[in-house]
């Protein structure tokens, strides 16, 4: 197999056996999937970020509003023995937060204690919080202490107005005394209404200063500070009942007995050394104190209730739920989008590459059959261009074959004539004289003329045709051409006339311009008979110079006009050279005109004549 053929086969195999990732369909599919994945990922990220931010903001607002509701309900529960009058409080806080509020019993019956708006169904699967003054949530309560009991739940420890006034007056006197003695102190008021005064140095400690041995403490005691801690009659009765409950608990726990004061801490004088030294017993003793306090306060606070909070539509305020079902739903949507993208991409890709494969197959097979056009898009326009290119290639191939035959015929005729004459002269058949020499010279000149014409066409096609433009007068060119061809025209019975505007100057190569006009006049002479006329004229039209060669000869049929400037074309299809010429003159004239930046056109009517128009800048 020749090397060139092996290379072509190898290239064919490389083209047809390409890898999948080199396929246009694969690239379209990969690009679409990449775009879809990026779009879905970006959209999901933005949605999650936006939803998360919105949910966090909503949850923060709900937590804030819920905490306000919780504190309002806890305050009411700590200061009232029932929920009977809670509706006005609930209404105010509901209007402030814009939420629905409901309270239900905690005994499992879900009986509505109170709700706002009235009659609103606010029951949900999970309560927002439990309102219990004896077990407050330290995360939501602003007044919670370590005991878990709302400090506002006072019960029997609430001071009457008379006791509050007496203790307030006593505290005023103590404060004035301490001020005179330059003692720094901190004054406050307990939830029960009892005033408290604490030395500044002990402000971070427990308010009791009993047993303090500092000099400031002794001076403060001289002001009557310790008398401010003395329980009132009502407080002593409440403490007695509380200590009795604590004592019963300590007995059940097998712990040493002790008593508590108004701060609900063991009195130093009553706490046993065994109780104070054991952390376990201290925890157990503290539990007895809290249990006794809750038992004592139970009749004075509202019963524990479940708090429900919902928005204005009655729906529970919930956060963003990325549960398993939601995750599967999101993955399902993403999968559906990807499948849809794949289907659309494959469908469009097949519609795109189908015509391309047809075009590729047509190119490889080298067929001249037009490819069917399947649309008006870019592929359709490409198919149209391919069909035009194929038609042009077929026409060019046909012209090439005809030109090769014509060249062979045109060259064979003079060569054969010269060979025959020389052989006859050599054999003595005809005498070798001036007539023989003239005949050989004529055939040699014809052969040289054909070769020169072919050389000019080859140079023009290759863009190597050299021009030497200079200012010339159109009248001079026309007069020169007419003088050269006048003898041949008169020999055929035709006349040549010249008309031109004066002065008419243009920039052109004089030799090539005479060759253009000469080829046109020579063609006119061959196609005019006796009594015919050939008119050469020149005029200016705008920025162009127009030169016309007109004759009233045989003319050209309309169907032949598109082929007039084709190489070796003749109106008569035989190769008998009855009209003479090489069939290249008009082709050369057009090429030379185009090399000057001009145009050569023709108009003709059968039996009326032909007009060739040269338009030069």
- 317-342 confidence digits (pLDDT tens): 444 455 677 677 777 777 787 788 77
At 534 the pLDDT is: 93
Find the mean pLDDT for residues 14-42: 66
Find the mean pLDDT for residues 70-75: 87
At 211 the pLDDT is: 42
CA–CA distance, 492 with 269 (Å, rounded to integer)? 160
For the domain made up of 378-461, give the CATH fold. Answer: Helix Hairpins (1.10.287)
Determine if the peptide bond prior to 503 is cis (ω within 30°): yes
CA–CA distance, 31 with 34 (Å, rounded to integer)? 5
CB 186 within 8 A of CB 197: yes
Residue 10 has pLDDT above 50, yes or no: no
Query: Given strand 544-551, what is the order of strands in its sheet?
Result: 495-500, 533-541, 544-551, 609-616, 599-605
Query: Given strand 112-116, what is the order of strands in its sheet?
Result: 112-116, 100-105, 305-310, 129-131
Query: How many residues are there in the chain?
Result: 617
| pTM for the structure as a whole | 0.43
Find the helix packing angle between 510-526 and 474-491, rounded to 10°: 30
Q: Which residue has the higher pLDDT, 260 or 410?
A: 260
Residue 571 has pLDDT above 80, yes or no: no
At 57 the pLDDT is: 55
Is the domain 470-616 a CATH 3.30.565.10 member? yes
Find the mean pLDDT for residues 28-45: 75
Residue 253 has pLDDT above 80, yes or no: yes
Closest CA to 586 of 605, 608, 574, 571: 571
At 599 the pLDDT is: 95
At 404 the pLDDT is: 73
Q: What percent of the chain has pLDDT over 70?
A: 77
Find the mean pLDDT for residues 336-359: 78
- 166-196 confidence digits (pLDDT tens): 989 998 988 898 888 888 888 888 888 889 8
At 4 the pLDDT is: 42
At 582 the pLDDT is: 60
At 318 the pLDDT is: 47
At 570 the pLDDT is: 64
Instruction: Tell me the domain boundaries of the chain.
Output: 54-151+304-310, 156-229, 233-300, 378-461, 470-616
Quote the tokens at residue 481. 């051409």
pLDDT band at 576; cut points 50, 70, 90: very low
CA–CA distance, 70 with 64 (Å, rounded to integer)? 10
Mean per-residue pLDDT over the chain, rounded: 78
At 410 the pLDDT is: 65
Find the mean pLDDT for residues 199-223: 58
């Amino acid at each position: 197999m020749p090397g060139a053929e092996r290379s072509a086969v190898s290239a064919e195999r490389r083209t047809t056996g390409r890898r999948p990732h080199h396929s246009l369909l694969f690239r379209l599919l990969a690009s679409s999937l990449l775009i879809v994945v990026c779009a879905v990922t970006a959209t999901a990220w933005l949605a999650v970020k936006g939803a998360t931010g919105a949910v966090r903001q909503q949850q923060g607002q709900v937590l804030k509003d819920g905490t306000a509701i919780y504190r309002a309900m806890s305050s009411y529960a700590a200061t009232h023995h029932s929920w009977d009058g809670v509706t006005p409080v609930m209404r105010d806080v509901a209007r402030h937060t814009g939420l629905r509020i409901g309270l239900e019993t905690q005994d499992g019956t879900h009986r509505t204690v109170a709700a706002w708006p009235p009659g609103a169904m606010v029951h949900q699967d999970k309560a927002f919080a439990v309102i219990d003054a004896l077990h407050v949530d330290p995360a939501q309560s602003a007044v919670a202490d370590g005991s878990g009991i709302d400090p506002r739940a006072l019960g029997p420890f609430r001071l009457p107005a008379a006791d509050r006034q007496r203790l307030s007056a006593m505290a005023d006197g103590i404060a004035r005394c301490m001020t005179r003695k330059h003692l720094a102190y901190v004054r406050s008021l307990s939830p029960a209404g009892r005033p408290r005064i604490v030395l500044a140095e002990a402000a971070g400690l427990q308010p009791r200063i009993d047993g303090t041995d500092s000099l400031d403490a002794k001076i403060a005691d001289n002001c009557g500070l310790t008398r401010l801690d003395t329980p009132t009659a009502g407080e002593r009765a409440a403490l007695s009942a509380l200590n009795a409950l604590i004592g019963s608990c300590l007995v059940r726990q097998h712990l040493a007995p002790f008593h508590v004061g108004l701060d609900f801490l063991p009195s130093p004088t009553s706490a046993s050394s065994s109780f104070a030294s054991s952390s376990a017993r201290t925890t157990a003793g503290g539990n007895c104190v809290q249990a006794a306090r809750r038992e004592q306060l139970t009749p004075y606070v509202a019963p524990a209730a479940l708090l429900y909070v919902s928005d204005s539509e009655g729906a529970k305020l919930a956060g963003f739920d990325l549960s398993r079902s939601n995750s599967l739903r999101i993955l399902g949507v993403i999968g559906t989008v990807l499948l849809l993208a794949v289907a659309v991409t494959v469908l469009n890709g097949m519609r795109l590459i189908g015509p391309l494969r047809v075009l590729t197959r047509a190119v490889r097979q080298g067929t001249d059959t037009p490819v069917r056009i399947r649309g008006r898009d870019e592929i359709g326009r490409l198919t149209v261009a391919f069909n035009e290119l194929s038609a042009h290639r077929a026409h060019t191939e046909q012209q090439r074959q005809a030109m090769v035959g014509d060249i062979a015929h045109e060259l064979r005729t003079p060569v054969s004539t010269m060979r025959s004459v020389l052989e006859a002269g050599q054999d003595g058949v005809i005498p070798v004289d001036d007539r023989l020499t003239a005949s050989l010279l004529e055939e040699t000149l014809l052969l040289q003329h054909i070769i020169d014409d072919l050389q000019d066409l080859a140079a023009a096609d290759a863009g190597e045709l050299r021009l030497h433009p200079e200012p010339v007068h159109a009248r001079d060119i026309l007069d020169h051409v007419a003088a050269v061809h006048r003898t041949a025209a008169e020999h055929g019975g035709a006349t040549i006339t010249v008309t031109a505007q004066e002065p008419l100057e243009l920039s052109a190569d004089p030799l090539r311009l005479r060759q253009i006009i000469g080829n046109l006049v020579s063609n006119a002479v061959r196609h005019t008979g006796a009594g015919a006329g050939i008119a050469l004229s020149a005029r200016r039209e705008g920025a162009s110079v127009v030169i016309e060669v007109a004759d009233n000869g045989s003319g050209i049929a309309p169907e032949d006009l598109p082929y007039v400037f084709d190489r070796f074309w003749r109106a008569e299809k035989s190769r008998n050279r009855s009209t003479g010429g090489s069939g290249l003159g008009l082709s050369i004239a057009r090429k030379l005109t185009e090399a000057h930046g001009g145009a050569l056109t023709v108009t003709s009517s059968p039996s009326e004549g032909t007009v060739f128009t040269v338009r030069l800048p």
